[in-house]
Amino acid sequence: MPPDATIHSAAAQPKAPAAPKDPKDRLIVALDFPSAEQALALADELQGLCRWVKVGMELYYAAGRTVVERLRARGFDVFLDLKLYDIPNTVAGAVRSVSGIGASLLTVHASGGAAMLRAAAEAAHCTGAPKLLAVTVVTSMDAAELAGVGVNDTPSAQALRLALLAKTAGIDGLVCSAEEIVALREAMGPGATLVVPGIRPAGTDAGDQKRVATPADAIACGASMLVVGRPITQADDPAKAAAAILEEMAEPR
């Protein structure tokens, strides 16, 4: 296991993604583990296969900001997926609190509303702040789930509404399902970062995801980056599983 001797300084500026072409720069592996030790062990298995890892709520709440610093010390860029959603002042404070720890991407919920999104975007102007991504409709929700919370539109229509709200508020990166990529790319423009979870290689179990796609299909539709968790992290050979996904991402369509 590589040492953590050189932790990136808080003043270091994280790298913002800019239309990566190499599949290794487009794959984000979700380190959804309950401890830093498990997450770092998996990250070490993937050294050289991908640049990006995701730290979500499970890992961040268990291990805190130090796990981001330790992953950065190993050379990974970090997608901090906290899905911030609260009153504008609280979300702005949270954005400032995680700025400078080395994360390159940070999520907020677009459904938090225009004022919250604007507050988050303004807070992200501080030194060391990550690029913000607005979560539209999570991939575990379908039309029935949306209806259950009072949204009677399709997931695609709701995602587009929230995407435009985020764009107006100053956030030009989104998290969306593969089903919405084409419409959101047209609405947001070629420079927008579209990060797509719910990725499942052909023939694998969708699990609790409702709106899924294969890696090749998501890339062909215009995804900037893909988030893959269980198909890699729960594989018998995670490195082999990651390599297979990278190969599929690179196939011409």
Whether 40 has a pLDDT exceeding 60, the answer reads: yes
Residues involved in catalysis: 83
Q: What is the structure's pLDDT at 13?
A: 39
pTM of the model as a whole: 0.86
157, 161, 193 from 184: Cα distances, Å: 10, 10, 10
Which of 41-45, 87-91, 136-140, 248-252 shows the lowest mean pLDDT across its residues? Answer: 248-252
- Predicted confidence (pLDDT) per residue in 150-208, tens digit: 888 888 899 999 999 999 999 989 999 888 999 999 999 999 999 999 888 765 554 54
- What are the strands, taking DSSP E only, across the chain? 27-30, 52-56, 77-84, 105-109, 131-135, 173-175, 193-196, 225-228
Taking CB atoms within 8 Å and a gap of at least 24, the contacts of 211-217 are 211/139, 211/141, 211/142, 211/155, 211/177, 211/178, 211/179, 212/139, 212/177, 212/178, 213/177, 213/178, 213/179, 214/248, 215/245, 215/248, 215/249, 216/248, 216/249, 216/251, 216/253, 217/178, 217/253
Domain ranges of the chain: 23-248
Query: In the chain, what is the greatest distance between 2 CA atoms, to the nearest angstrom?
Result: 52
- CATH code, 23-248: 3.20.20.70
> What value does the mean pLDDT take over residues 47-60?
96
Contact status, residue 249 vs residue 226, Cβ threshold 8 Å: yes
Whether 2 has a pLDDT exceeding 70, the answer reads: no
pLDDT mean across residues, the chain: 88
Q: What is the structure's pLDDT at 5?
A: 42
Enumerate the β-bridge partners of residue 134.
108, 174
Q: What is the structure's pLDDT at 20?
A: 54
Whether 247 has a pLDDT exceeding 50, the answer reads: yes
Q: What is the structure's pLDDT at 242?
A: 96
